[in-house]
Structure 1
């Protein structure tokens, strides 16, 4: 019964991913360690509002489920995938290897391209991603989350330098 309650509390009902409550649980558990190095990736979908506006919220929900599967495929081997809020996701990684993190982000972005090539959707899925590595003994979780959010925002700005915000195709 406890396992079922935990599953309900910690799981996003739409995507089946862990949720923000589970992320907070992981943070509390990590803070109990004396020297706690962590790394995380913040992910935000590009143009998601246009999917909802142009194709409806049911299609937006389907897009979120497709993205959840892409993120599982891309990151589950390296950490915990969570739906943070709306179309934002956070991956808490089990590595602090900077080169490996860059490699798996690049691979994840390729997985989005592959998905777009094989599906028959009238829209393209893409995501901006930012990451950071920290020692939670020296930085608060809020500061860390703000840092990965800022890195994600920088990636989003680069994306929109080459892509029209109003065009989801």
Structure 2
């Protein structure tokens, strides 16, 4: 009985420490959201825009096109669900399209087609448009902040923490 009691105290300390280590492996979301931030997909907003007003959203997806106008730029985005770090999950089914409206001029080479982005902003109505020959309603998001994901950031979905016994090789080491 005495040996069991001797291990009990360290185990009580070890469990919370292990949980903290695992939690530290998960990257934090890039944007801080409020309890009123919408979690609905763009297609749902396009179907009933009057229900959502000027709500804050955190959306992301693949850049389809960049269009520049005299007073603003619009980035057409094919939306995907986001993971816990707010990275678009491009392997999941798309959840609609939206237009990210940014003030001033946006260089299309800074937001290249095919790259993934995540943004935080406020809904600002909808606009009718076309996707190919199909009529489409695009939710408009007035962008507050935008993040363009690098391939390395998208690949880092898995934590770089490994446990084991043996010899390890560091990727990219020269």
The answer to whether TM tops 0.5 is no
Q: TM-score, normalised by structure 1?
A: 0.23
Q: TM-score, normalised by structure 2?
A: 0.23
State the structure with bigger RCO (CA 8 A, min sep 6), 1 or 2. Answer: 1
If you compute each CA radius of gyration, which structure gives the higher value, 1 or 2? Answer: 2
More helix by share: 1
More strand by share: 2
